[in-house]
Chains A and B, each alone.
Chain A
Amino acid sequence: MKVRAIDCPNCGGSVELRGYSHSLSAVCIQCLTVIDTSHPQLTILKQFQDANRVRPLLPLGSRGRFGGKLFEIIGMQERQIMVDGTTYSWQEYLLFNPYAGFRYLSVYRGHWNFIEPAKGLPETTTRYLGKPALKYQGQTYRHFQTAEAETSFAMGEFPWKLEVGQKVTVKDYIAPPKLLSEEITPDEVTYSVGTYQTGEEIAKAFALTTPLSLASGVFANQPAPAANLGSTWSTFVLLLVGLFVLSIFLKVISRNEVVFDQRLHYSSADKESAKVTDIFELKGRTSNVEIESETDLLNDWMYLDMSLINTETGQAWDFGREVSYYSGTDSDGRWTEGNPKVSVNIPSVPSGKYYLRIDPDMSDDAGLHSASYTIKVTRDVPKFWLLWLAIPLLMLPALWRTIKRGTFETQRWAESDYATSSSSSDDDDD
C-alpha cells in the first residue's frame, strides 16, 4: 500500500496522508485548513489562524523506536486546560505504525510521556493516602487532576475528526513513572497509560541532532530521583544495629578494672596538703582511666587538684575538680545544691605503672574545714558517648533524603488539583 496525497479543497496544496485510510482528518500545511478526509468528497472542518501556528518540537514525518517498534509522527496537537484562570498548554504527537497501531507522545515543559491505550480496565476504585485512586494491573494510581482539555492547534493527520474547540474531560491518576488517563464521553470510556520519558530518551529515540529543552519543575508522574526511602531508612536501621553490636563488643572487651580505691582525709589545719598515692598498675591497651571521688561534704566545698603520673615515662595528666554540697530547709521544704561526688575521665592513657598526686584545698577563711573523700581509679571504662553521637550522625543522610523527597513531592503536587493543601512526604515510587 502506498501513501496517497489529496488536494486541499481550500488552497489546492498537496496533503499527504501518511496514516492511509486511518486518517479521518488532515491539516493542510500551507493554509492550516482542517480537512475531513473520511470520505472521497473532502470537506472543510475548520481553519486555524496562521498567527497561532506552533512549531512542533519533533518534526512531522520523523520516526523513532519505542519498545523495539518503529513509529512515525503523523500528527501534532496543541491542547490546553484552564486551571484557576491560567491556561496550561502542552503538545501531543501522534505516532503511527501500520501494524502495531497508534501511540502518543505528550510533552509539557520538557517532561515527556509515551502513551498507549490500556487493554484492561482498572480493577477497583479506592482511596489512597487521602486521594481517590484506581488500582490497575496491581498498581495503585492516585488521582492527580481532572480537567477539560481542548485542542487549540493541530498539524498533520488524525484517525478521528478533529473538532477544534471540542472539550473532553480527562482524569489523570499517577503511579510514578506511570500515568493512567481516563477519558469519558456519554457513549465511551477509554483508558490510556503513559510512561514518563526524559528529553534525553526522546532525543535518543528520534536520533535528534539538537537536544530538547531541559525539564523545568516536577511533572505529575516524574519518578523521584533518590533511591526509595524505605531502603534508605532500612539502611539506617541496619547501621544502627551495627552500632549496637559494636557497643556490645566494646563493652565486652573493656576491662573496667578498679586499680586503686582509698579513703583519704583533708583538714585545713594540715601544713602540707599535697600527697601521693601508692603506685598502681594500669594494664591492657591504651584506654581511658576514670577517677571518682566521693566526699562527705555538707554545706562546704573542696577543690581537688590532681595529677596522674607515669612512674616510668614521666608523663603526667593534670586535672582539677570542684566538689560542693549544700542542703537545708526553707518554706518549700528540703533543698540541696551541688553534688558530693565527682568523676573525671582521662582519655588515651597508655598502660604502665602510675600514681596519683592529690592536692585538695578548701576555704581559707578562719574556720576549720575538713573532709574525708574516697579516690577510686578504674581502668578502661566503657563510655559510649562517641557512639551516642554517632546515632544522629548516622541518621543525617536518611533525614536529608526524606526532606529532599518532601520538597520534590511538594513540587509535584503543586501542579495537581490538590495544590492548596500542604504536602506530605509520602513515597510515590515504592
Chain B
Amino acid sequence: MTNLFLGNLKYWLYGLTLLGGAGVAEWRGYSFTSINEHQVAPKSVRDNPGAYRSHYSTYTRYSGGK
C-alpha cells in the first residue's frame, strides 16, 4: 500500500498541485475569459446611462440572418 504512494510520489505531487490549483481557481471564481474591467464614476453613470462609453461600444453588428 505504501508503495502506491512512494512509487508514484511525483505523480501525487503533480496531481495534488493540479487539484489544489483548480480548487483555488474555482474558489476565487477565476476564468480564462476575462471581462474588460476598468474604473468608472458610478454616480455619473447612474445619472446619465446613455453617456457611458463601454469598452464594448465598438461591436460588430449582426449582419447575417436567414
Contact = CB atoms under 8 A, between A and B. Distances in A.
A286 B27 CA distance: 8
Interface in B1-57: 3-4, 7-8, 10-12, 14-16, 18-19, 22-23, 25-31, 33-42, 45-46, 49-50, 52, 54-57
Interface string A283-327: 001111000000000000101011111110011111110101010
Interface in A208-236: 227-228, 231-232, 234-236
Interface of B: 3-4, 7-8, 10-12, 14-16, 18-19, 22-23, 25-31, 33-42, 45-46, 49-50, 52, 54-57, 59, 61-62, 65-66
Contact of A305 (B26, B33, B56, B62): B56
Contact of A288 (B7, B8, B31, B38): B31
A307 B49 CA distance: 11
Contacts of B16: 239, 242
Interface in A332-361: 337, 344-349, 355, 357, 359
Contacts, number: 159
A1 interface: no
A320 B54 contact: yes
B28 A324 contact: no
B3 to A, nearest CB: 6
B50 A347 contact: no
Interface stretch (A16-24, A49-57, A385-393, A412-420): A385-393
B18 A319 contact: no
Contact of B45 (A243, A288, A357, A384): A357
Contact of B41 (A234, A288, A314): A314
A382 interface: yes
Contacts of A328: 66
Contacts of B30: 347-348, 386
Contacts of B61: 303
Contacts of A348: 28-31
A246 B24 CA distance: 10
A316 B26 CA distance: 22
Nearest to B66: A326
Closest 9 CB pairs of A and B: A347-B31, A288-B29, A287-B29, A320-B56, A227-B7, A274-B49, A239-B15, A318-B55, A318-B54
Contacts of A234: 4
Given A227-B7, A246-B23, A288-B29, A276 B46 contact: yes
A11 interface: no
Given A227-B7, A250-B26, A390-B19, A347 B34 contact: yes
Contacts of A380: 29
Interface string A239-255: 10011001000100000
A383 interface: yes
A276 B36 contact: no
Contact of A397 (B11, B54, B55): B11
A170 interface: no
A138 to B, nearest CB: 19
A276 B59 CA distance: 20
B19 A243 contact: yes
A286 B45 CA distance: 24
Given A275-B49, A285-B27, A316 B39 contact: yes
13 contacts: A239-B11, A246-B22, A250-B23, A250-B26, A274-B49, A347-B29, A348-B29, A349-B29, A380-B29, A383-B26, A386-B22, A394-B15, A394-B19
